[in-house]
A and B are shown apart, each in its own frame.
Chain A
Amino acid sequence: MANFHLQIVTQQHTVFDRDVTSLTMPGEEGSFGVWANHRPIIAVLKEGPIDIRIGSNTDRYQITGGFFEMEGNKATLLVDSIDGMTLESEDD
């Protein structure tokens, strides 16, 4: 299955930076998902859960709002804060 690259950036850290299969997130007018080769999109997100799917694995995290941008299979998720993410966190 085709993958796309996802980067999740909070104000202080890049918390996620790898290829994923799909991403579901809470848009202002309801939850929506994107897969690889989605058309360019910029979306405003509200508070709620995001589901990151890699292969057949799905992980759920909570965000408190942010933006999603995707263009040419490169996606960026800018969030105010994200819960349950332990990856690559580089706190001192």
Chain B
Amino acid sequence: MPENLKALRLRIRSINKTKKITKAMEMVSAAKLRKTEGVMKSMRPFLSKIRMLIGRLALSTGAENHPLFQKSETGVTLYVVFTSDRGLCGAFNANILKLAKRELDANPEAKVFILGRKGRDYMRKNYRDRIAKEVVDLGGELEGAMTDSLTDELRQGFLNGLYSQIKLIYPNFISTAMNRPVVEQFLPFDAKAFGVSEEEAESPVDYLLEPSPERVFDAVLPRYLKSKLFITLAETFTSEHSSSMMAMNNATKNCDDLSGSLTLRLNKARQAAITTEIIEIVSGANAL
């Protein structure tokens, strides 16, 4: 089967080329992953400090009276869904959108604010009339100012009674090999969610608030929201890059397997061809 041999060689060659590409993409994702993971990790001390601060603030004064702590009577629930612009990252987007779908189906009134091209395409197809806003081309690179205007917009929407509450749906980065989509309350603040221990709750520290409790709340809370949104974006990017790295790693392995088994088939076919040829020659010689 000489033509079969040629076809096999071609396939092996093309698979090896594919492997080179997936390998390169894996390395690109790994480099991006290191970068965004660094940003994400470096932000955690700031965020945990400010969380602790809010937790204590919530105890020490009449925090319940602040508008950002109160569930608004009017408006609908808004889900802010974080997805990626690009594909080739395994089940990354599918997992997030599965969770978003479940939430949206459970709350028929709720609107969705979608980030990332993959998510937008999905929402346009399935929940067209529920999209409140869409943002694409985030670029996968992190910049400080990126989330600031977004935060103001969400906060204003909440304060103006457009949204009764705002929730985030994003991939929680656990390790390079794992991320899990989660739903998290963004606004209003849930004072209990700020990790204050029980003994602290019983005897709250009596803070002096300078210049006034209102000013402290008005300064600290928006700052926290900005940081929270930024780190959520960082987490989305990090998870995206790690998913993409894993997907490309698997693709490279598959190429290896495929190329191995095809090489085996090629060698067998080649030997079979040689054997047939020798038999023909020998039997030809015997016939003489």
- Chain A residues within CB distance 8 Å of chain B: 7, 9-14, 27-29, 32, 39-44, 67, 69, 71, 76, 78, 92
Q: How far is the CA of A92 from the CA of B211 in the complex (A)?
A: 38
Would you list the 8 A-B pairs with minimal beta carbon distance, nearest first?
A43-B210, A44-B219, A41-B208, A40-B207, A29-B211, A40-B205, A28-B211, A9-B46
Flag if A78 contacts B215 (CB, 8 Å): no
Known: A11-B46, A12-B43, A78-B46. A69 touches B53 (CB 8 A): yes
User: DSSP majority for the B interface?
Assistant: helix
CB distance from B36 to the nearest CB of A (A): 13
Q: How far is the CA of A67 from the CA of B219 in the complex (A)?
A: 8
Flag if A29 contacts B45 (CB, 8 Å): no
Contacts between the two chains (Cβ within 8 Å), count: 71
Flag if B42 contacts A12 (CB, 8 Å): yes
Q: Which residue of B lies closest to A76 (CB)?
A: B49
Flag if B49 contacts A13 (CB, 8 Å): no
Is B227 in the interface zone, CB < 8 Å from A?
A: yes
Contact with A along B130-169 (1 / 0, CB 8 A): 0000000000000010000000000000000000000000
Q: How far is the CA of A45 from the CA of B219 in the complex (A)?
A: 9
- Chain B residues within CB distance 8 Å of chain A: 38-39, 42-43, 45-46, 49-50, 53, 56-57, 144, 205-211, 215-216, 219-220, 223, 227, 230
| Chain B hits for A44, CB < 8 A | 210-211, 215-216, 219-220
User: DSSP majority for the A interface?
Assistant: strand
| Chain A hits for B207, CB < 8 A | 40-42, 71
Chain A to chain B contacts (Cβ below 8 Å), 14 pairs = A11-B43, A11-B46, A11-B227, A12-B39, A12-B42, A29-B211, A40-B208, A41-B209, A42-B220, A43-B211, A44-B220, A71-B205, A76-B53, A78-B53
Q: How far is the CA of A14 from the CA of B39 in the complex (A)?
A: 13
Q: How far is the CA of A77 from the CA of B248 in the complex (A)?
A: 43
Q: How far is the CA of A69 from the CA of B46 in the complex (A)?
A: 13
Q: How far is the CA of A76 from the CA of B48 in the complex (A)?
A: 12
Flag if A40 contacts B53 (CB, 8 Å): no
Flag if B208 contacts A39 (CB, 8 Å): yes
CB distance from B273 to the nearest CB of A (A): 57
CB distance from A31 to the nearest CB of B (A): 12
| Chain A hits for B46, CB < 8 A | 9-12, 78
